[in-house]
Amino acid sequence: MIGVFDSGFGGLTILQNLKKALPDYDFMYLGDNARAPYGSRSFETIYRYTLESVRALFARGCPLVILACNTASAKALRSIQQQVLPFEFPDRRVLGIVRPTAEEIGKFSTTGHIGIFATAGTVSSQSYLIEISHFFPELKVTQHACPMWVPIVECGERGTEGARFFVKKEVEALLAKDPEIDTVLLACTHYPLLEAEIRAALPPQVRLVFQGDIVAAKTVDYLKRHPEMDSRLSKRGGTSFLTSDTAKFFEKGAFLFGMADISAESLTF
């Protein structure tokens, strides 16, 4: 199976794109709901939680794990890839979602000015700035943290006046930092669910970029380039769900992220 990890529910938005692009593959999703959100946690904590989750997915038969969480990708991926995999799991792979997005984002802009909305943790890690500078050194990148947006989604407040207020506030703050921005990246798993509010607040000429499509296309490409990994992945088109919270909590909350009628299994690390 392809393991898909997120701090909680947000990675379900990425999982949906992956399933569309790879309908025959089997996926195992793990949400660390009991310890979410990760957005404002320290590097050490995010690393520890993410590594525990990756180990759990490895133990359940996933040779490939995608960290479908920007915060975990930004803060834990590199250490896992460099300090853990070569010594303990030389035949397993962990991929993140920051780098594949960074490889593409510059292609969307004509002014050469882009904006990024993300959690405080992703912004402070500077991961996007560092990765994008490798591929598009001329691009002017302005980041903006939106700490209210994850709770707005998780509390089911999409479409309300409160949601519109907090989205408009952050959109205006980003554009005030750089009015030449013509492309905005949603670099947090939850933000695509606020698409309507974000589009309403952005000037019409500003392009909105979603990560799910990019990550799915890059994963397809990765599997083509790595047939040795591809051949180890089961292909029955199934998806199973694990959560560090109760199964009931996950099954109920996943509904807000477009996944109804699923059954989950609870795990303890």
Binding site for ligand DGL (CB under 6 A): 6-8, 10, 36-39, 69-71, 119, 122, 150, 188-190
Report the residue number, 7 or 243, with the smaller CB distance to ligand DGL.
Answer: 7
Cα atoms found within 13 Å of the Cα of residue 7, Cβ hemisphere only:
27
Is the N-terminal amide bond of 37 cis, ω within 30° of 0? yes
b/e burial code for range 114-140 (CB count within 10 A of at least 16 → b): bbbbbbebbbebebbeebbeeebeebe
Report the residue number, 150 or 237, with the smaller CB distance to ligand DGL.
Answer: 150
Give the pair of three-digit tokens for residue 196.
């309507």
37/215 Cα distance (integer angstroms): 21
Active site residue 188: yes
Report the residue number, 71 or 88, with the smaller CB distance to ligand DGL.
Answer: 71
Would you put residue 258 in left (φ > 0), alpha (ψ -120 to 50) or beta?
Answer: left
- DSSP assignment of 129-174: HHHHHHH-TT-EEEEEE-TTHHHHHHTT-TTSHHHHHHHHHHHHHH
- Smallest separation, CB 54 to ligand DGL (Å): 15
Report the residue number, 57 or 150, with the smaller CB distance to ligand DGL.
Answer: 150
Report the residue number, 2 or 96, with the smaller CB distance to ligand DGL.
Answer: 96
Classify residue 237 by its DSSP letter: -
The β-bridge relationship of strands 93-95 and 64-67 is parallel
Burial class (CB in 10 A: 0-12, 13-18, 19+), 222: middle
Classify residue 84 by its DSSP letter: I
Positions marked active-site:
69, 188
